[in-house]
Amino acid sequence: MLAKQEKHSRTRIRWLAMAHLQEGREYHEVATFLCIKVGTVKLWLRKFKADGLNGLQESPRSGAKRKLDPSQETIFKEAVVSLQEKREGGRITGHDIQQLLKEQFKVKCSLSSVYNMLSRLNLVWITVRSKHPKQSQMTQDDFKKNSRKMQ
């Protein structure tokens, strides 16, 4: 059955409704099986008659507006990279970037929105352990050479 291959659940239910109608079931029976209203079944049938299976596909949804427009996003990306380069030791955090958005772009958003924006702009990276600004490799090497081994 075609509905089993469909990944999107709402589209799968619509296709299942069409299969029930094709078997000769009444509108109210199909609506009862699928726990939907009869008017919805009729609407899906109209869409199916007009556009076939494509008429039953899930249409894209608008979602929330982006906090920055595309021209601002490129400037933001450069600002984040330069902020990281200016940082001595350690990494910038989501809170640092949230502050950057508030100060430079006058945009207030949640921490999850900051991370979503970074992901969309391919600015999410996995890094090695951060280094302390006062860290000295020479001091660490001396410590390793001169310390007694634990037994």
Which amino acid type is present at position 117? M
Condensed to tens digits (0 to 9), the pLDDT of residues 113-149 reads 999 999 999 988 766 666 777 888 888 888 888 887 6
Residue 113 lies in a domain: yes
Condensed to tens digits (0 to 9), the pLDDT of residues 75-94 reads 999 999 898 888 876 778 89
Residue 130 lies in a domain: no
Contact yes or no for 80/92 (Cβ under 8 A): yes
pTM score of the predicted model = 0.50
What is residue 143's DSSP assignment? Answer: H
Token reading at 122: 């391919």
Q: Which residues form the domain of 94?
A: 70-120
List Cβ neighbours of 108 (8 Å cut-off, separation of 6 or more): 101, 102
Please indicate, yes or no, whether residues 7 and 44 belong to a single structural domain of this protein.
yes
How confident is the model at residue 123, as a pLDDT? 87
How confident is the model at residue 126, as a pLDDT? 62
